[in-house]
Amino acid sequence: MLNRLFGSPPDETPPESRLPTDRQALVDASASAHEAARLLRAPTALAQLTEEEALVVVGFMRPKRFRSGTTIIRQGDAADTGFMVLVLEGEITVETLIARRVDPATVNVLGPGSLIGEMALVDGAARSASCTASTHVTCAVLTREALETLISEQPTTAAKLMTAVAQRLAERLRESSHKLQIYSRLVQTMQQEIDQLMPTPDTRLR
């Protein structure tokens, strides 16, 4: 699939350097580019995009393959933040280091139709988690340079893309906030149970 992706071999002319007509012709002639666009519109990615918009975005992406065990994104990396990845084939394990733990905790395992790295692509901040290929992975990569060209050539589609990414990040933030509320209630309940089982001197005097 990789060699046929977007109608050209990998590591050739960067998509942002192609003429718009050439880029569009390559995408139109590539069945794998249409499959990538379908995955880009998956519920786990950017479902807000239309098929036409997804095909335009795919035209600015470049194919890449990672061998099993390769770290694609490393938590805390503030230098290599200029890309996001759409998984086409394979699985990626998302892990994060938590204070007072030696080994990283697995946050998620992502498959085809999943996006990684979009947060750092938007704000340029350090990576918030590590992403490792748990199998051989085929993916499509959107770089910041390609995104800038997309904004210049197709501002309407670029605006829709960034809106979809922002909505995805907002949903993730709401999920984190909800989990934090549950955790807070759990801690409060546990503390009440501990106080009942092992009352402090102050509570014994009441």
Convert the pLDDT of each residue in 10-68 to its tens digit: 547 788 988 999 888 889 888 899 999 999 999 989 999 999 999 999 999 999 999 99
Give pLDDT tens digits for 154-193.
Answer: 999 999 999 999 888 887 676 666 556 676 777 777 777 6
Q: Does residue 85 surpass a pLDDT of 60?
A: yes
Separation CA 154–CA 168 (nearest Å): 21
Compute the C-alpha angle 16/38/114, nearest 5°: 85
As a whole number, mean pLDDT of residues 101-113 equals 79
| Residue 62, Cβ density class (10 Å: 0-12 exposed, 13-18 middle, ≥19 buried) | buried
Nearest to 60 by CA among 107, 95, 94, 27: 27
Mind listing the domains of the chain with CATH numbers? 2-177 (2.60.120.10)
Supply the mean pLDDT for the chain.
84
Question: In this structure, what token pair is assigned to residue 117?
Answer: 């790295």
- Give the pLDDT of residue 1: 47
